[in-house]
Copies of this chain bind each other. A is one copy, B any other.
Amino acid sequence: MSSVAKKLQELQLEIPVAPKPAASYVPYMISGKQVIISGQIPFVKGSVEGQVGKLGDNFSIEQGKAVARVCAINIISQLTEACSGNLDKAKCIRLGVFVNSTPDFTDHPAVANGASDLIAQVFGERGKHARAAVGVAGLPFGVAVEVEAIFEIE
């Protein structure tokens, strides 16, 4: 068993099968050694129930972290498809974390850690990444967090 697969098992994380692309844009593109993953919404079995909210208004930092973690799970799902299941060849380069928040909210890094910590747990040293975390006015479906990613495949 690969080391990433072992870690997913330890964390009791089930990575969903990536949905097929159905529009002009696709969930990921490969450019040279980079896998560029589209902004992931926190869908769980096709639904955003429980993932909708705005930080600084009706959503706590802990709730926001949990949503960021779901986005990261969906990123791993797309990455699994992109590298044909061989996650041990993958290294995270960058996460872009968009936090749906009010004008006076200032704890975006704490929310973004929900995604960063999961990627670091699952991929170990190869999970450390550059990051930008900002507060946005709104997000698709009203979800609390959207995360995009760049990985490198060797």
Residues of A within 8 A of B (CB): 21, 23-29, 31-34, 36-39, 54, 56, 93-96, 98, 101-109, 112-113, 116-117, 119-120, 127-142, 146, 148, 150, 152
Q: A130–B26 contact, CB under 8 A? A: yes
Q: What would 10 A/B residue contacts be, using CB atoms closer than 8 Å?
A: A23-B116, A25-B116, A29-B93, A31-B150, A36-B130, A37-B130, A38-B131, A56-B138, A98-B134, A105-B138
- Smallest CB–CB gap between A51 and chain B, Å? 12
Chain B neighbourhood of A117, CB < 8 A: 24
- Smallest CB–CB gap between A148 and chain B, Å? 4
Chain B neighbourhood of A112, CB < 8 A: 25
Chain B neighbourhood of A37, CB < 8 A: 130
- Smallest CB–CB gap between A25 and chain B, Å? 4
Count the copies: 3
Chain B neighbourhood of A103, CB < 8 A: 54, 102, 137-138
Q: A109–B140 contact, CB under 8 A? A: yes
Chain B neighbourhood of A132, CB < 8 A: 38-39, 96, 98, 146, 148
In the bound complex, what is the Cα–Cα distance between A33 and B31 (angstroms)? 9
Q: B131–A39 contact, CB under 8 A? A: yes
In the bound complex, what is the Cα–Cα distance between A26 and B93 (angstroms)? 10
Q: A119–B31 contact, CB under 8 A? A: no
Q: Which 7 A-B residue pairings sit nearest by Cβ, starting from the closest? A: A39-B132, A135-B138, A24-B120, A24-B116, A25-B131, A38-B130, A132-B148
